[in-house]
Amino acid sequence: MTESSSLSIVVPMYKEEANAGRLVERVHEGMADYTGPWELVLVDDGSPDGTVRAIKSAQTQWGEHVRLIELQRNFGQTAAMQAGIDAARGELIVTMDGDLQNDPTDIPRMVEELLERDLDLLQGWRVNRQDAAIKRKLPSKIANRLIAKMTGVALHDYGCSLKVYRASVLKQVRLYGEMHRFIPVWVAGVTSPSRIGETPVTHHAREFGESKYGISRTFRVILDLISVFFFLKYRARPGHFFGYLGLSAGTLGGLMLSWLFIVKVFLGEDIGNRPMLMMAVFLVLMAFQFLTTGVVAEMLSRIYFQGTENRNFVVLKRPEVDPSEAWHKDKTEERAE
């Protein structure tokens, strides 16, 4: 591990008043032997409790390298994570949950492993997951298998928030909706899947607060997975997706109309009351609708998804920090100075 590898630890938090102070303390314990500069970026996702107050208290105790980003309201974990990533200044970025189920002592080892294996993303794998079997483990297992099968990016545990990234790669990815689970897939869109790895990490049972997830999340994951599949394969050419549907419907409708034309003209049969006529007309109209939708999708894709200034969150307050300050530095380095 080189001292030049500055590190940003990004933690989205929502209603974690009881965990905030302990989290900051455990991060410092876990990072005690890290020789490079690092910062802890805590993003409050519009918590209605005393989460912000607890974070500010921790800032006073530990220093300015503990940074607070307050969102104006609750935008969701994905938006909070993106806000933290945008604010991160390190060459490497770590993301983790704020519920103390991820263990900060894994971070230095994961950073070293990422550099040694020359990866762009190292995904944590909760081998001994300490969660309820039906409410948390079952939906997660279903989601992991669906994601791996549809995207081709085979990982054991997409849901583990403890990940280490190269900032230069991660900042090429924009997260929307509830897409934080699919970050490895999005990263695979900007780097080779061979530069994405995983490693076993420690997982603890939640001590305080309540989980924000349940089995109903499986259905949202399925819907999000369809969107991910569409954007990964057709983001630059959505017209092809709708074009295939349109041409298929148009071809089938055209064949049906051609047959009805032959029956009417050459066989003299009445086709006005045939269900096939209604279906053929419907298919042709549907074909035109798919094709025009594809054209509109092409335009929207270029306008919206390629716009680097688009944001899906509003920051209430962002601290003014001198880029050269507010880093936690190794005490040995400070004494040498």
User: So where are the chain's domains?
Assistant: 7-234, 238-305
Distance between CA atoms of 327 and 233, rounded to whole angstroms? 40
Instruction: Note whether 213 and 97 are within 8 A (CB).
Output: no
**Each residue's pLDDT tens digit, 30-74:** 999 898 999 999 999 999 999 999 999 999 999 999 999 999 999
> Do you know the residue count of the chain?
337
Give the per-residue pLDDT at 1: 45
The answer on pLDDT for 294 being more than 90 is no
**Each residue's pLDDT tens digit, 241-280:** 888 899 999 999 999 999 999 988 888 888 888 889 999 9
Q: Please give the mean pLDDT across all residues of the chain.
A: 82
CA distances from residue 203 to 40, 206, 300 in whole angstroms, order as listed: 20, 9, 41
Which two structure tokens, joined as six digits, stand for 65? Answer: 């390298």
Domain 7-234 is of which CATH architecture? Alpha-Beta Complex (3.90)
Give the per-residue pLDDT at 2: 45
32: Cβ contacts below 8 Å, ≥ 6 apart: none
The answer on pLDDT for 8 being more than 70 is yes
Q: What percent of the chain has pLDDT over 70?
A: 77
CA neighbours within 13 Å on the CB side: how many for 138? Answer: 8
User: 272-294 as b/e, with b when 16 or more CB fall inside 10 Å?
Assistant: eeeeeeeebeebbebbeebbebb
